[in-house]
Amino acid sequence: MNKRKYIMIWSFVLVAVLSITACSKKNNSNGTSVDIINIGVTDSLSSVNPLLQDGTEVVKHTTSLEFLPLMELNSELEFVGQLADDITTEDNKTFTIHLNEDAVWSDGEKITSEDVLFTFLLWASPEIGSTGMSIEKIVGTGDNGYVESGADSVSGVVALDEHTVQITTKSEMALHSFKNIYGRYILTLPKHVLKDVPKEDLLSYDWFNAPTVVSGPYAIKDVDLNHYVTLEANENFFMGAPKIKNLNIKVVTASQLLAGLRSGEIDLVQQTTGAILQEDYDSVRALENITVYDGTPITNQSIFFNTERVTDARIRKAILYGIDRVTILNDLLKGQGEVVDGFLASAGPFYDPEVTPVAYDPDKAAQLISEAEADGWDKSTELLFYVNSGDTTFVQIASFIAAKLGELGLNIKINTVDIATLLSIAGTGEFDLLAVQYTYAPVDPYTDVSWLLSEAGWTRYYEDEVAKALDITQKSNDLDEIRKQYRIVTDYVQEEAPMISAYVISAIGGVKNRLKNAVPDVYGTFINVHEWEITN
């Protein structure tokens, strides 16, 4: 997933039941541990190596439990300090990271500027070959985001003192973008532990599967990427030793979440990592042992076109007209969400409430198809529509969409594949349509949108006016001006349809009543994980 910084994508995978008896000291009568908190997720993990961030929230949260980000978003969409007290700038090009002077590694070593410099160098090193995280925007890297092979520094990343780092970007970047990309997704690694490991070995370095030195509240002790991650408390966590000694991330199918919450085998489901089935919402709400939290409507069920394959904008827009999004939302999703056009949901500061979503209009869709046919488009063309096989709700919705479009004469072939295959196909562009759940961070939609609407992005779509509008969002601090520029982007998306927002989800999360101080939400759930407490 090249250059994706904080993408939220959900998959649902089959799971083998994890035995946790080796970790527990005592069990309840139903067999659930009283010493371990089980977090149910419906995403398998691609890796637990922070240098292999793939944009999925389950990987982001799991790795951040071990290696803190510089900053994180709380439930109010405010940036709060983690390893850094703050990040500041005066010109949107030179950014100063002020590290928390109390921050230490679990072995007692101080976390310093040298660790931050070391981590940014790893991301920029061609020997490692990581791509993404907008490293190419930093002075001292090439257009590909790399420094010269063998380089021992990035010229745009310097230490001003032991706890202050200065990063210079090639062009202006809004502070909220900087905090969101580098602050939230670049997880600082311990230089004193990893400096002698050959860079080319780090991506496959087994140490990350059970690291001996961490900065966060927990450390992985065992991992099976398709089934579980077991974590143990870092007793030397500088913000305070976690009150719960063991966390267990359990990968389950979406259909297992209700049963797990009911039985007590699952203690917490967070909205962006555990996708409770829509048909189970009422049953989950009825559970007496669970408190349910409605998530902010942020996650966008996006349908992307490869515009190099579906070249006629009339066909793309005909598909937009041919999807009855209101019916899908109200009847299939029980109204849990909203319909928007483009990338911005109502929860974000840049959302324009005056934008009217394109209405379902099969007659208009048929007219556009006829016009395209008259100009040589072959109506028998098979359009390959890739869908995440684990997202059982959208698999059903995709079939509904394909059937309706079939009535208009469009030949839509649905291919359901697992999340890893889906992301690979997205990167290679071997699709006509592709659907994923994608969260465009409300405080920083620029990073994802600018990449997606580019020749290098999934849509292979580029429009100069869109690029200019997005560029202005990084230079202005005026909210009205930024909103105006995003309106330009939305207008183009409505007119040329390089992507379609099928709907924005307002997912629910749940927490067992025995777990105190834990509030599942789209953002901020794990910021205070060290303060979670079990009451029996």
CA-based nearest residue to 329, from 341, 338, 342: 338
Cβ burial 480-516 (10 Å sphere, 16+ → b, else e):
eebbbbbbbbbbbbbebbbbbbbbbbbbbbbbbebbe
Can you give the pLDDT at residue 406? 96
All domains of the chain in start order, with CATH: 1-67+216-295+508-536 (3.40.190.10), 68-191 (3.90.76.10), 299-505 (3.10.105.10)
Q: How far apart are CA 469 and CA 450, in angstroms?
A: 10
Can you give the pLDDT at residue 30? 39
Confidence band, pLDDT 50/70/90 cuts, at residue 430? very high
Can you give the pLDDT at residue 34? 55
Q: Summarize pLDDT for 245-269 with one digit per residue, the tens.
A: 999 999 999 999 999 999 999 999 9
Can you give the pLDDT at residue 21? 31
Q: Summarize pLDDT for 157-174 with one digit per residue, the tens.
A: 999 999 999 999 999 999
Q: How far apart are CA 439 and CA 452, in angstroms?
A: 13
Q: Summarize pLDDT for 76-110 with one digit per residue, the tens.
A: 889 999 999 999 999 999 999 999 999 999 999 99
Q: Summarize pLDDT for 27-86 with one digit per residue, the tens.
A: 443 334 457 999 999 988 999 999 998 878 899 999 999 999 999 999 988 999 999 999
Give the torsion sign (CA, 312, 313, 319, 322). negative
List 534's β-bridge partners, or say none: 515
Amino acid at 502: A
270 pLDDT higher than 50: yes
What is the pTM for the complete model shown? 0.81
| Percent of the chain whose pLDDT exceeds 70 | 94
Helices (H), 51-202: 57-66, 113-124, 175-178, 184-185, 191-194
List 219's β-bridge partners, or say none: 232
Q: Summarize pLDDT for 207-250 with one digit per residue, the tens.
A: 999 999 999 999 999 999 999 999 999 999 999 999 999 999 99
Mean per-residue pLDDT of the chain = 91
Average pLDDT value for residue range 294-318: 95
